[in-house]
Amino acid sequence: MVEITDSLACLYTGRVESRGDDYVVTVPASEIEHGSVSEGETYRIAVLDRAEPSGEESASGGDGASVPDADGSSAGTPSDDGQRPTSRGAAGAVQPDPPVSEGEVRDVTIETLGDKGDGIAKIERGYVVIVPDAEPGEEPTVEITSVRENVSFANVVEE
């Protein structure tokens, strides 16, 4: 089984392409749009063989759910066994549902400030949690008040 750290910014299936003396791994636009990664930044990446040994959990959680290819298409058949909820994105690719639910209480780390001055934390898969009146570096306990496909809103319940 592959161990995945909590600092994982994103997970997707892509191809390694040769371009002259360089090799390129394409990052899906959705990862940039969701803020999982930023253009021009440097990241550590892990490359896993797409073929998985049968009977073992996969890097995507071991539930058979597919991970989108770099072009947004689905790498495999999504799981319909109820173990991991999924939804269809704008391009029809299966996307995992938000990793939080309304009313959930979590500890987060505020990483930056948004355009309107709200604190921004990222949790599993780079999912964004917006926390009003929070500052970068703070680690508050928050209650999720509203959940959307790629962002949720929360209020501080304990600093």
d(CA 51, CA 15): 13
Which of residues 97, 115, 136 is at a domain's end? 97
Same domain, 123 and 151: yes
Please determine, for residue 56, whether its predicted confidence score (pLDDT) is greater than 70.
no
Please, how many CA atoms are within 13 Å of residue 127, restricted to the half-sphere of its CB? 21
CATH number (domain holding residue 150): 2.40.50.140
SS (H, E, C) 57-88: CCCCCCCCCCCEECCCCECCCCCCCCCCCEEE
Which of residues 97, 114, 142 is at a domain's end? 97
pTM above 0.75, yes or no: no
Same domain, 84 and 141: no
Same domain, 33 and 87: yes
pLDDT tier, 10 (very low <50, low <70, confident <90, very high otherwise): confident
Same domain, 22 and 62: yes
Q: What is the per-residue pLDDT across 20-49, written as a single tens digit (0 to 9) for each?
A: 998 888 887 777 777 778 888 888 887 776
